[in-house]
């Protein structure tokens, strides 16, 4: 095969093919010229001049394509040094041979990977909360494959945002902060780019368009994140925490989730908008937590409400447990008794006159309220189908408490 490729006869054949192809192209162009002349009625059309113009147009198209490619190449070079590869390890119980889910023996090391991007000149790195959740050790890798230890500053499970910090001067010197854009006035169809580490392939660039805005996804805590960006730029496991960029190389979101039945890209990815990220990250760096108002309830899904109430027409958020303000006010949870029967509780249907049709509505309303604020909560008692309104003063909860609650819930499920 190789000797044939370099054989003189083969070279001659390739030259002849090239000459023949050039003749065919010239013939085709001449045909185009004749047809154009007939269509335009230009009997005095000068063939050489028109072919030259056609060549100029073709050359302009090629130049434009090359310029677009060069722009993408330069953008990647500029931004890549601000993107890192995040690796976490978490200690877990070693499973005994031949047993089913029975912990025992020395702790095993479970690894997870993700992406992140440099926030400032102080070594702060932003990633997803789910990337570092439960991690005992976090390492970040820069573009030159060097690894550095990172400290977890704080997380906010509600928005799936975490802040890390590298303190090694060598790492800080290599990590250049990404330029922050705005997620206001984004347009469907505009070009977007994602840089991350899908399947461990560090500093991978993918491109696409902004497919939608104002989507809603669930954060690590199960609460909704609104205003989310949808894109068809390929996002896969390992991209989480990496930046979504506009065509100027500015960060407009954090790549967080995909919608897929195979855990790989199906052209539907989601990024938390950068305007939300800015508020959360600044607060996490300054105070190490996000403080929010709390009613003191955990909620069930709409499907659970329909099952419990045996009625698909009841609007509201089913209360599964009460604590703090809700418990003090006298609200009741739906729970299973020792005899196996259900004790029917309450369904939140309004907050200060604003309707709550499902649990997501209550989460969104609570995000706008402040700790210490007094609100009127209208509930439906499932036991007798009567409504009652409670005056409740909202409590304060911070993101660190929510992270600990998630970890405790996971321990109980193991």
| CA dihedral of 39, 41, 47, 51, whole degrees rounded to 10 | -40
DSSP string, 124-154: EEEE-HHHHTT-SEEEEE-TTS-EEEEEEEE
- Closest by CA position to 193, among listed 228, 159, 229: 229
Distance CA 394, CA 70 (A): 55
Task: Cite the DSSP H helix spans in 81-134.
Answer: 129-132
Q: 160, 202, 346, 361: which is the annotated catalytic residue?
A: 160
Task: Answer yes or no: 37 catalytic.
Answer: no
Q: 130, 202, 256, 359: which is the annotated catalytic residue?
A: 130
Task: Answer yes or no: 56 catalytic.
Answer: no
Beta carbons of 50 and 33 less than 8 angstroms apart: yes
Q: 220, 240, 359, 399: which is the annotated catalytic residue?
A: 240
The CA-CA-CA angle for residues 117, 118, 123, to 5°, reads 140
Distance CA 31, CA 50 (A): 12
Task: Answer yes or no: 160 catalytic.
Answer: yes
Distance CA 330, CA 250 (A): 50
Distance CA 13, CA 7 (A): 10
* Residues labelled catalytic: 130, 160, 240
């Amino acid at each position: 095969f190789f000797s044939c490729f370099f054989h003189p006869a083969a070279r001659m054949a390739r030259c002849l093919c090239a000459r023949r192809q050039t003749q065919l192209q010239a013939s085709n162009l001449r045909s185009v010229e004749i047809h154009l002349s007939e269509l335009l009625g230009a009997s005095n059309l000068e063939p050489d001049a028109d072919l030259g113009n056609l060549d100029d147009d073709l050359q302009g198209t090629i130049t434009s394509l090359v310029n677009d490619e060069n722009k993408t190449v330069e953008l990647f070079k500029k931004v890549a040094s601000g993107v890192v590869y995040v690796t976490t390890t978490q200690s877990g119980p070693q499973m005994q041979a031949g047993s089913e889910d029975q912990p025992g023996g020395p702790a095993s090391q479970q690894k997870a990977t993700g992406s992140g991007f440099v926030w400032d000149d102080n070594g702060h790195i932003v990633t997803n909360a789910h990337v570092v959740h439960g991690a005992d050790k976090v390492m970040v890798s820069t573009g030159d494959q060097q690894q550095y230890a990172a400290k977890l500053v704080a997380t906010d499970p509600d928005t799936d945002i975490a802040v890390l910090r590298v303190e090694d001067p060598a790492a800080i010197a290599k990590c250049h902060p990404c330029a922050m854009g705005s997620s206001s006035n984004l347009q469907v169809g505009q070009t977007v780019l994602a840089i991350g580490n899908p399947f461990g392939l560090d500093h991978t660039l993918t491109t696409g368009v902004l497919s939608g805005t104002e989507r809603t996804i669930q954060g690590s805590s199960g609460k909704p994140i609104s205003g989310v960006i949808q894109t068809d730029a390929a996002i896969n496991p390992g991209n989480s925490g990496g930046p979504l960029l506009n065509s100027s190389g500015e960060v407009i979101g954090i790549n967080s989730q995909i919608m897929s039945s195979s855990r790989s890209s199906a052209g539907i990815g989601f990024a938390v908008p950068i305007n939300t990220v800015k508020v959360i990250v600044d607060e996490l760096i300054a105070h190490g937590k996000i403080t929010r108002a709390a009613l003191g309830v955990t909620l069930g899904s709409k499907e659970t409400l329909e099952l419990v109430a045996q009625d698909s027409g009841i609007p509201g958020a089913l209360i599964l447990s009460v604590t703090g303000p809700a418990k003090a006010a006298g609200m009741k949870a739906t729970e299973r008794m020792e005899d196996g029967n259900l004790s029917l509780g309450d369904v939140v249907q309004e907050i200060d006159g604003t309707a709550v049709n499902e649990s997501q509505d209550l989460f969104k309303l609570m995000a706008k309220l402040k700790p210490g604020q007094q609100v009127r909560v209208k509930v439906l008692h499932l036991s007798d189908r009567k409504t009652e309104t409670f005056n409740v003063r909202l409590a304060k909860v911070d993101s660190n408490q929510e992270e600990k609650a998630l970890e405790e819930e996971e321990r109980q499920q193991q």
